[in-house]
């Protein structure tokens, strides 16, 4: 890679902030400038001489500004290879002006979409000339420095200050990478907007921002988060968020969003080890912690109400990796900050992702997010005894938890409190046995409790075992060829059972 010296610049930008200092620096270095429309007016208004692009193309801006720079007189000056004899002969033959620096940004397409603008306004923000100029400069990066964003102006100024406009070869290459990163992202955004009704089956996702994590799932693995965490929460206190923290945070937010009542949940390894709905956060916390105080150690606590001093005082009594809430009192934050590494997050209002995807087998597995949320009205009684009002409330509560538990999953609950869950088992009966044993180990009586299953029961052994443990009502999707055997057992033993018709596998 060889160095170049900037002698001539082409400038056409939508955003003018930061540009004045750049053009004045170019002037001080004797670098000539060619510019377009509003950029020309801005530059000359700053007292810097420039040449209008029309003087090179001999054409005015036409078609409402859609065509300004698409001309050999401009692109030839960017794409000409200085070490190519044929290129340079044609440059001389057609009197083409060479450009060593191209400063071009793009119309704000994504911002226009986000504003809710009408389709025609959005279409007019699809940049044609800008993308072409950026790609041309990046392609010929051996001879041209392409600056594609005002965020690069600081680096550009450093280059100009350092050695009178001499640019190192590795810098030219780095700017070219950033240019192609920008244009590919821009094209992805345009495609995804046009394809918002999924007329074409294609997976395209582009995220420009990223954050380095301490490591991945384990210390020997590298980890990154692509996205903007600040859109979801404010990091009030504590250490850097880890890869595993983020997995638990995502699981916690997905779970807590299922509940309208004052609810507190504690999660470990993406599963709820405690959750309860009560009249206050303090009461919800106490009930959630009672579910499994052992697993709660080092967990992620989340609530859908403001954390006050009373709740914070109780939370501070155990080690929690992360605490999340939509708001805190000042005293509560002070209490929770007593543990210097505890991560305290203030949740912001943000829309949950409507789709999920994961990499595998050299490809990507995509699906819609599971947004089904069954109410009591959506539960179909299939037994002669229907659930009582209290049982219905607990069935809805348990079903929301099992939806967010690793399959095979069973949830046992009573009085809007998790008694225990059996998760990640290879058989449903094993998940149930695990839940019963765990509930008993923490002193829960299952008399009058309810059971939720993420999928149907292939055999009647689950309802038999649940009934023998004290369970009086069951919710499951139904759909087994042997459903009737489970229904018959429930009818003979006065157990109420409802079907939802919706399975909630989670792997």
Rounded Cα gap, residues 244 and 324, in angstroms: 15
d(CA 68, CA 174): 28
Residue 408 preceded by cis peptide, ω within 30 = yes
**Are the beta carbons of 382 and 272 closer than 8 angstroms?**
no
Three-state helix/strand/coil letters over 58-72: CCCCECCCCECCCCH
Q: Determine the pLDDT at residue 65.
A: 72
Between CA 210 and CA 417 the distance in angstroms is 38
The C-alpha atoms of residue 25 and residue 89 are separated, in whole angstroms, by 32
Please say whether the beta carbons of 278 and 262 come within 8 A.
Answer: yes
How much is the CA Rg of the chain, to the nearest whole Å?
Answer: 31
In order, the DSSP letters of 318-342 are S-EEEEEES-B-HHHHHHHTTSTT-
**What is the pLDDT, as a whole number, of residue 56?**
81
482, 459 in Cβ contact below 8 A? yes
DSSP secondary structure code for residue 409 in this structure: -
Query: Do 424 and 409 contact (CB within 8 A), yes or no?
Result: yes
Sign of CA pseudo-dihedral 309, 314, 315, 317:
positive
Q: 422-428: which pairs have CB atoms within 8 A and are 24 or more residues apart?
A: 423/271, 424/271, 428/453, 428/455, 428/457, 428/458, 428/462
Nearest to 343 by CA among 320, 325, 315: 320
Q: How far apart are CA 138 and CA 149, in angstroms?
A: 13
* 437 sits in which H/E element: helix 428-441
Contact 435, 422 (CB under 8 A): yes
**Interaxial angle between packed helices 169-194 and 129-139, expressed in degrees from 0 to 180 and rounded to the nearest 10:** 150
Token reading at 346: 């203030």
Using the 8-state DSSP alphabet, how is residue 328 labeled? B
Distance CA 159, CA 166 (A): 7
Whole-prediction pTM? 0.87
Q: What's the CA gap between 497 and 463, in Å, rounded?
A: 9
Chain CA centroid to CA 487, Å: 43
Nearest to 274 by CA among 57, 466, 438, 156: 438
Nearest one of 408, 400, 415, 421 to 457, comparing CA atoms: 408
Residue 55 pLDDT:
84
User: Which amino acids are annotated catalytic?
Assistant: 139, 269
**Between helices 37-45 and 19-28, what is the axis angle to 10°?**
70
CA 64 to CA 129: how far, in whole Å?
13
Phi/psi at 66 (5° precision): -70, -30
Q: Max alpha carbon distance in the chain (Å)? A: 98
User: What SS3 class is residue 119?
Assistant: helix
What Å distances lie between residue 298 and 6, 216, 295, 318, 323, CA to CA? 57, 18, 8, 8, 11
> Mean pLDDT of residues grouped by 10 in the chain (507 residues)?
92 94 94 92 94 83 75 91 92 93 95 94 92 96 96 94 90 97 96 93 92 93 93 94 94 95 97 97 98 95 97 96 97 96 93 88 92 93 97 97 95 97 95 96 96 95 97 96 96 97 93
Q: Residue 14: helix, strand or coil by DSSP?
A: coil
| Whether 339 contacts 317, CB under 8 Å | no
Residues paired with 9 in a beta bridge: 33, 101
What's the rounded Cα separation, in Å, for the pair 231 and 229? 5
DSSP 232: T
CA atoms within 13 A on the CB side of 407: 11
């Amino acid at each position: 890679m060889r160095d170049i010296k900037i002698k001539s610049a082409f400038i056409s930008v939508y955003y003018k902030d930061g540009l004045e200092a750049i053009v004045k620096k170019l002037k001080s270095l004797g670098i000539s400038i060619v510019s377009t429309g509003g950029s020309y007016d801005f530059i000359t208004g700053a007292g810097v001489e420039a040449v209008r692009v029309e003087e090179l193309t001999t054409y005015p801006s036409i078609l409402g500004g859609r065509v300004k720079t698409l001309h050999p007189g401009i692109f030839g000056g960017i794409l000409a290879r200085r070490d190519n004899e044929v290129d340079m002969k044609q440059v001389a033959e057609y009197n083409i002006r060479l450009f060593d620096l191209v400063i071009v940004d793009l119309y704000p397409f994504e911002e226009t979409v986000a504003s809710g603008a009408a389709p025609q306004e959005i279409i007019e923000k699809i940049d044609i000339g800008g993308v072409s100029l950026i790609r041309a400069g990046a392609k010929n990066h051996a001879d041209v420095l392409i600056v594609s964003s005002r965020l690069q102006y600081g680096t550009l100024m450093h280059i100009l200050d350092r050695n009178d406009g001499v640019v190192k070869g590795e810098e030219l290459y780095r700017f070219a990478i950033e240019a192609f990163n920008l244009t590919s992202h821009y094209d992805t955004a345009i495609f995804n907007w046009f394809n918002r009704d999924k007329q074409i089956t294609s997976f395209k996702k582009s995220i420009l921002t990223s954050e380095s994590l301490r490591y991945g799932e384990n210390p020997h693995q590298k980890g990154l988060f692509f996205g903007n965490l600040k859109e979801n929460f404010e990091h009030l206190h504590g250490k850097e968020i880890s890869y595993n923290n983020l997995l638990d945070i995502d699981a916690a937010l997905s779970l807590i969003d299922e509940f309208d009542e004052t609810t507190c949940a504690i999660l470990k390894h993406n599963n709820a080890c405690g959750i309860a709905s009560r009249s206050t956060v303090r009461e919800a916390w106490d009930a959630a912690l009672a579910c499994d105080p052992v697993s709660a150690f080092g967990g992620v606590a989340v609530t859908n109400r403001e954390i006050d001093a009373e709740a914070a005082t109780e939370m501070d009594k155990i080690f929690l990796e992360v605490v999340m809430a939509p708001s805190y009192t000042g005293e509560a934050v002070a209490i929770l900050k007593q543990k210097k590494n505890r991560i305290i997050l203030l949740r912001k209002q943000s829309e949950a992702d409507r789709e999920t995807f994961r990499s595998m087998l050299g490809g990507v597995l995509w699906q819609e997010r599971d947004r089904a949320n069954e109410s009591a009205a959506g539960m179909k009684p299939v037994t002669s005894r229907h659930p009582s009002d209290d049982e219905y409330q607990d069935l809805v509560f348990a079903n929301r938890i099992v939806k967010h538990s690793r399959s095979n999953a069973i949830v046992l609950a009573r009085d809007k409190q998790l008694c225990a869950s059996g998760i990640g088992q290879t058989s449903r009966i094993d998940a149930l046995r695990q839940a019963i044993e765990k509930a008993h180990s923490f002193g829960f009586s299952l008399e009058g409790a309810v059971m939720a299953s993420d999928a149907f029961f292939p055999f009647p052994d689950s309802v038999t075992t649940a009934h023998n443990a004290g369970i009086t009502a069951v919710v499951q999707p139904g759909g087994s060829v042997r459903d009737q055997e489970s229904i018959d057992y429930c009818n003979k033993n006065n157990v109420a059972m409802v079907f939802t018709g919706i399975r909630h596998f989670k792997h």
